[in-house]
Structure 1
Amino acid sequence: MTARIGFIYAHPDDETFLSACIIRQYSDQGQSPVLLLATRGEAGKLGTERATNKAELAAIREQEMTEAACILGISAVEYLGWPDGQLGLIPFEELVEGVISFIQRHELNVLFTFPEDGGNGHPDHVAISKAVTAAVLSGKCTTVEKLYFTASATLYSAGHEPAIKVDTEAGWETKAAALCAHASQRAAIAKYFGDLDQFPEERRNESFVLGWHEGVMWPTEKNASQKKE
């Protein structure tokens, strides 16, 4: 049976930075991965040649996200529409309910999101990670079987190892194309990945820790599958 896969992040381009290759792999396998973004990324670097205000940037980033989704094979992109940079300030219950609604609507079996610390401490990343975890633990998302967190230094230091590790070298052309689609964020992309014409060895892997599996938080290697669905 084909698993229904969902990726839940804060901003357009998070999906490509963290999980472009695994998304494309799922799509190539005949699955239809879906994406939920909490914001439209209007607080990102403006780039005066592309946008003169936040509303204009939000529209541009939605267009860029549509292009990236086509490249990666994402079947649906949805937005909660919360203000970029302010997820930690909105009512947490409302953020969680938005996540629950998305999961229920798509009857998702497997979820991917940020680790609890957001991976880099970004408040929006932290907020959406906590909201996804709360949604899964709420008992309202009965179709969910597994929740994966992007591997981070904090998770490694706590003794957690990736259950999924994707070598991105073979899929770098696709990932680079999706990154290029997010053109308004090229400065941040260049800072993280360097010249997209060259494979960044230090960014080789997309890695994910299994944080929840059928009612068990932080399942051990003994009772958790180490194979990708």
Structure 2
Amino acid sequence: MSHKVGFIYAHPDDETFLSACLIRQLADSGEQPVLLLATKGDAGKKNGDVSHLTNEELGDLREQEMLQAASILGLAAVEQLGLPDGKLNSVDATDFLQGVIQFINQHQLKVIFSFPEDGGNFHPDHMAISRMAASAVLSGKCPSVQKMYYCVSNTLLEQGHQPSISVDTQPQWEMKARALMAHASQIFAIERYFGDLVSCPPNRRVEAFVLAWERGEWWPVKQEKSVLDDLL
């Protein structure tokens, strides 16, 4: 039986930066990971050959890049809310939340991943989608969800929360690098974070996730072998 696992992020490439190897492992084990993005990333920095594009053109390009990355990662579906990039704090919260709830229920997700409350790096869009993911889970309108994970951040670690699941990217680095390169319009930002992509940088080697919520309990302390552990 395949358990649906969903990743809920703000921009195209968030999924690859933070969870490429976990997504690929789930796909390779027969699961059907799916992705929801709040925006097209149309306000992203325009690097090199795409510096002349309008925001609308950049958004269209990033959608195509996302499809290429999704194929590499093994994502079963990618959906966009199409909200304004860089302005998630200003959109109608009711409609925003309903879009997330609809995605979760459409795919009957049992496990979801998103940013922690601090967005990982205090990016306002990251923080906004984190709030909406948590609000959807707590709304009582997504009964399929049994677990919610946050990507590890310095704030979570400082608060004493330790990863429940960690993935060593070294064995899958070639795959992750290809998925990163698929987001070619953002290559300057990617190289600032990961270097030249030839080898896995030691400080970016691990994808780590904290189990934030499980069937009504916040911050259960546990070490897991799989994000599918203990699902009902």
TM range (shorter): over 0.9
The residue aligned with 1:11 is: 11
Tell me how large the CA RMSD over aligned residues is: 1.0
Cα drift, residue 48 of structure 1: 5.6
- Between the aligned partners of 2:32 and 2:221, the Cα distance in structure 1 is 28
**Alignment partner of 1:34 is 2:38:** no
Contact 2:73 2:179 (8 Å CA) reproduced? yes
State the AA in 2 paired with 1:227. K
**Alignment partner of 1:171 is 2:172:** yes
State the AA in 2 paired with 1:216. E
- Between the aligned partners of 2:205 and 2:197, the Cα distance in structure 1 is 13
Deviations 1:158-205 (A, max 9, x none): 110001000000010000000000000000000000010122111010
- Between the aligned partners of 1:152 and 1:95, the Cα distance in structure 2 is 24
TM-score (ref. length: structure 2): 0.95
The residue aligned with 2:84 is: 83
- Between the aligned partners of 1:138 and 1:196, the Cα distance in structure 2 is 41
Contact 1:119 1:152 (8 Å CA) reproduced? yes
Contact 1:110 1:147 (8 Å CA) reproduced? yes
- Between the aligned partners of 1:35 and 1:43, the Cα distance in structure 2 is 20
- Between the aligned partners of 1:19 and 1:48, the Cα distance in structure 2 is 26
The residue aligned with 1:195 is: 196
The residue aligned with 1:226 is: 224
Partner SS, residue 39 of structure 2: coil
Partner SS, residue 79 of structure 1: strand
- Between the aligned partners of 2:65 and 2:188, the Cα distance in structure 1 is 15
Contact 2:148 2:212 (8 Å CA) reproduced? yes
- Between the aligned partners of 1:120 and 1:92, the Cα distance in structure 2 is 22
State the AA in 2 paired with 1:105. Q
Cα drift, residue 117 of structure 1: 0.3
Cα drift, residue 2 of structure 1: 2.5
- Structure 1: tracts of 5 or more residues without a match: none
Cα drift, residue 207 of structure 1: 0.2
Deviations 1:22-49 (A, max 9, x none): 0000000011100000000000012362
Contact 1:34 1:77 (8 Å CA) reproduced? yes
The ranges of structure 1 where at least 4 consecutive aligned residues each deviate by more than 4 angstroms after the TM superposition are none
- Structure 2: tracts of 5 or more residues without a match: none
The residue aligned with 2:205 is: 204
Deviations 1:2-60 (A, max 9, x none): 31100000000000000000000000001110000000000001236225200100010
Deviations 1:88-121 (A, max 9, x none): 1112222111100000000000000000000000
User: What percent of counterpart residues are identical?
Assistant: 56
Contact 1:46 1:53 (8 Å CA) reproduced? no
Cα drift, residue 213 of structure 1: 0.1
Q: Aligned pairs, how many? A: 226
TM-score (ref. length: structure 1): 0.96
Contact 2:4 2:32 (8 Å CA) reproduced? yes
